[in-house]
């Protein structure tokens, strides 16, 4: 069996309950337990493209990537195993969606690390289902409940909007900087004090705010935005549309779906996958950037100052420069020769 997260190890302590069940896995999946657990059938819904890429090799059409699940995909599932994400708002969004497409009487198991806020599940789901803690181990808690009735769910009720200057930013739960522009992105944008042109790729685009702000100020720029998160893809499209900008929004695991070369690659790269520190995406973005930059093209990123990117930038590009910094963040730039 593959390496499992603590949350999955807690689920396995109850594996006997699942052998004759038709399971639906959803939420913040971080491993491949769904491909290994004994059950009558298993389906997986994930909003994270890189997790879906790993799961479809064995599950095929029984693994689905998308922002929301639908009743066609969940039909026949009698048990939900949900992994709690680090955002309570995202958990509410996903669970309300799932509870709108699962049948009344569905057994629900919700598991997560205690520091993620999973212990608030009963309060967040009050009036929909009652949850009781049935296990605790490995700094995780497992809750059980049963769906009483299907609930109403309308994705349009979950949008949040704010402005950055004249730019309207539209976001859904689970998107980075959902309520306001983060300090790192603000610092990165401050370094673009001169006009730019050419093709620009915004990796890990989130709400699409970086590309949209730069596209509004630089009409000659051609925009491509990419992310692994379905909520980010939907939010970026909505942000571009709200600001009457054209752009290609691509679901991509770093460069997996990128085929062009660019004059600019920009990013405020994530260094977490769920609650875990994970530098792989940012490392891949830097290491592979020269293959996706034109001659003279530039990679410009913002990152926490303690992260080990300078050495990787130097080994990849030969050198780098620091364009701006605060006590917490640095903006790095490297140019392809």
Q: Identify whether residues 223 and 121 lie together within a single domain.
A: no
Q: Identify whether residues 103 and 181 lie together within a single domain.
A: no
- Tell me the pLDDT tens digit for each residue of 129-170: 899 999 999 999 999 999 999 999 999 999 999 999 999 999
Which of 127, 155, 183 marks a domain boundary? 155
User: Does residue 248 lie in a domain region?
Assistant: yes
Q: Identify whether residues 46 and 147 lie together within a single domain.
A: yes
Q: Identify whether residues 216 and 327 lie together within a single domain.
A: yes
Q: Please list, in sequence order, all residues whose beta carbon lies within 8 angstroms of the beta carbon of residue 289, skipping any fewer than 6 positions away.
A: 265, 299, 316, 317, 334, 336
Domain that holds residue 271: 159-336
149 vs 127: CA distance, rounded Å: 10
Give pLDDT, residue 273: 56
Which of 109, 128, 155 marks a domain boundary? 155
Nearest to 260 by CA among 174, 218, 200: 200
Q: Identify whether residues 168 and 145 lie together within a single domain.
A: no
Q: How many domains does the chain have?
A: 2
Alpha-carbon torsion, ordered 268, 196, 190, 184, to 10 deg? 0
Which of 135, 155, 175 marks a domain boundary? 155
- Identify the CATH number of the domain in which residue 21 sits: 3.40.50.150
Cα 226 to Cα 6, 11, 186, 235, 278: the distances in Å are 30, 33, 19, 11, 18
User: Does residue 1 lie in a domain region?
Assistant: no
Give pLDDT, residue 274: 52
pTM for this prediction: 0.95
Q: Identify whether residues 271 and 141 lie together within a single domain.
A: no
- Tell me the pLDDT tens digit for each residue of 291-320: 999 999 999 999 999 998 999 999 999 999
Q: Identify whether residues 26 and 133 lie together within a single domain.
A: yes
């Amino acid at each position: 069996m593959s390496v499992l997260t603590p949350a999955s190890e807690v689920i396995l302590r109850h594996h006997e309950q699942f052998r004759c069940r038709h399971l639906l896995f959803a939420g913040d999946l971080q491993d491949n337990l769904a491909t290994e657990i004994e059950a009558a059938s298993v389906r997986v819904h994930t909003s994270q493209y890189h997790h879906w890429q790993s799961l479809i090799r064995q599950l095929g059409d029984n693994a689905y990537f998308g922002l929301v699940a639908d009743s066609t995909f969940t039909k026949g599932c009698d048990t939900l195993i949900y992994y709690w994400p680090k955002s309570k708002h995202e958990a509410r969004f996903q669970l309300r969606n799932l509870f709108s497409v699962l049948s009344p009487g569905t057994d629900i198991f919700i598991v997560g690390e205690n520091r993620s806020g999973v212990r608030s599940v009963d309060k967040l789901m009050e009036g929909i289902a009652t949850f009781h803690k049935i296990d605790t181990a490995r700094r995780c808690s497992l809750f059980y409940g049963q769906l009483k009735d299907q609930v109403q769910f309308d994705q349009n009720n979950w949008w949040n909007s704010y402005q950055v200057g004249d730019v309207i930013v539209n976001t859904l739960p689970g998107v980075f900087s959902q309520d306001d522009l983060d300090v790192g992105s603000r610092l990165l944008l401050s370094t673009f004090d001169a006009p730019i042109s050419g093709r620009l790729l915004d990796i890990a685009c989130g709400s699409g705010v970086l590309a949209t702000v730069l596209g509004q100020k630089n009409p000659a720029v051609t925009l491509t935005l990419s992310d692994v998160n379905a909520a980010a893809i939907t939010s970026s499209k909505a942000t571009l549309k709200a600001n009457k900008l054209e752009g290609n929004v691509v679901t991509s695991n770093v460069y997996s779906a990128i085929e062009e070369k660019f004059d600019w690659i920009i990013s405020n790269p994530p260094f977490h996958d769920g609650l875990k520190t994970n530098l792989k995406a940012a490392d891949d973005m830097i290491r592979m950037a020269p293959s996706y930059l034109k001659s003279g093209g530039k990679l410009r990123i913002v990152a926490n100052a303690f992260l080990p990117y300078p050495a990787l930038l130097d080994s990849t590009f030969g050198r780098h420069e620091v364009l701006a910094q605060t006590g917490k963040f640095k903006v790095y730039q490297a140019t392809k020769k």
